[in-house]
A and B are shown apart, each in its own frame.
Chain A
Amino acid sequence: MGWEKFDPNLVSNDLVQDLKWDEQLRELFKQNERAVLDQYDLLPEERAAIEARDFRKLYDLGIHPYLGGQLSRFIWGNEAGKSAVEAANNLVASLTGQTPNISKT
């Protein structure tokens, strides 16, 4: 995996940064992810990848890896040593071709 896939135009990069910067949006994402995704002009395959927790696909579409890692924390949790570990494990599973745990949204 290299930088050749990175695309600064990809809207998912904005989505993740907005989630970092906007506490209300973060809360809405937890409660109603679809409502947040509706606010963004995502490519159909980009949205499908987010909904399927398919980070490999998102990376191929051009999300910045650091922001991809942060998206995993918005999905699975951000607490040091706890939910953040689950987020990292699920992210790595997706990137290496295993099935991520999509039970928690």
Chain B
Amino acid sequence: MAKIVFAAGVPHAPAIVGQFDHAPDEVKAVVTDTFEAVKQQMYAARPDVLIVFANDHLANSRVRSYPDFLIGTAREHRGPHSWFKPWIGCRDYVAKGNPDVAKALFRGMTHRGIRMTAKAENLNFDDNISVPVVMTDLDQSEIGLVPVLQNCTVPPYPDQYHCYAVGKALGDFVRNDLPADLRVGLIGSGGLSHEPGGARYYKIDQEFDRAFLQLTTQGDHDTLLKEMTPERMDTAGMGGTAEILAWYPIMGAIGECTGEDFGYSGWPNFRCGIGGVIWDLSTSKQHQH
């Protein structure tokens, strides 16, 4: 029985890398405190493999044939994609992959009735994977990355209930399909509120973001699933906010856990609400849902 040893939800707005130096100190502190905590606690947990669910920003598939969950099974993962480099302004990286776990995940989810798609080629990564990789120096580690690019933005995309059910299957897969001594980390990458390409490009819904962080740190999944609907996410920023749905597979996998956030920023120049959560796995009420 493999074990989930670390679980977090993180933001991935490119500006927290490319525009970090221009941010006020209190905003910088939110970014630094969040990712330093993720980095410190993730490495302390000694995962062998890190499965990252993250919104695919239409970088890998046509909108008319768009997979809901695309697993990268490559031996190594290179990024960021060339088009995105000036936008994010981060270093090039090569993160170690884990094809065995990636393929087992594809197989395991298929057997559990969850339709996923897999590709052995290097996926096109933008901020979705690049920000968590460079902010945690994952590419400097021996941890194997398994990216799962999620459809959070091409209608009809999987809603909160489906994403949570994917998470329950993910937890079952980790516990029953992976080698007994394997240590697994999970990260959901995305959010918080933003509207990329929309008329409210600079609008951030701080009230929504704070409510979301509160519900995720409280570990009240019934309320979270009931209240944080895709419609409410779109009201808080269409086409962007719903990428917090990438946190739901993680929460579904670990069950109800309390967690800790590391502050919140709604600085407009980041064009995205910024906040992250690390869940305390010792508080899990795994089988309630």
Contact = CB atoms under 8 A, between A and B. Distances in A.
A and B pair up: yes
B238 interface: yes
Interface stretch (A31-39, A44-52, A72-80): A72-80
Contact of B197 (A2, A26, A69, A81): A69
B118 to A, nearest CB: 20
B87 A64 contact: no
Contacts of A1: 198-199, 238
Contacts of A79: 86-87
B249 to A, nearest CB: 21
B197 A67 contact: yes
Contact of B238 (A2, A13, A20): A2
Interface string B1-33: 000000000000011001100100000000000
A96 B22 contact: no
Size band of the A side of the interface? 20 to 34
A23 B82 contact: yes
What is the predominant secondary structure among interface residues of chain B facing chain A?
loop
Interface in B96-115: none
Contacts of A26: 83
B149 to A, nearest CB: 14
A86 B86 CA distance: 14
Contact of A66 (B57, B83, B87): B57
A73 B87 contact: yes
A9 B65 CA distance: 11
B59 interface: yes
B241 to A, nearest CB: 12
Contacts of B199: 1, 92, 95-96
Given A21-B83, A80-B15, A80-B88, A69 B59 contact: no
A92 B203 CA distance: 11
Interface residues of B, number: 34
Nearest to B57: A66
B62 A17 contact: yes
B64 A92 contact: no
A54 to B, nearest CB: 14
A19 to B, nearest CB: 8
B158 interface: no
A14 B196 CA distance: 18
A101 B238 CA distance: 24
Contact of A81 (B19, B62, B81, B240): B19
Interface string A1-37: 1110010110001100101110100100000000000
Best-buried of B155, B199, B202 by chain A (most CB within 10 Å)? B199
Contacts of B64: 8-9
Contact of B59 (A20, A78, A91): A20
Given A64-B58, A81-B18, A69 B196 contact: yes
B180 interface: no
Interface of A: 1-3, 6, 8-9, 13-14, 17, 19-21, 23, 26, 64-70, 72-73, 78-81, 84, 88, 91-92, 95-96
Given A3-B155, A96-B199, 18 more contacts: A3-B238, A8-B64, A9-B64, A66-B57, A66-B58, A66-B153, A66-B239, A69-B196, A69-B198, A69-B201, A72-B197, A80-B15, A81-B22, A88-B202, A91-B197, A92-B199, A92-B202, A95-B198
25 contacts: A13-B63, A19-B83, A20-B124, A23-B83, A64-B153, A64-B239, A65-B198, A65-B238, A65-B239, A66-B57, A66-B153, A66-B197, A66-B240, A69-B196, A80-B15, A80-B18, A80-B19, A80-B87, A80-B89, A84-B86, A84-B87, A88-B201, A88-B202, A95-B198, A96-B199
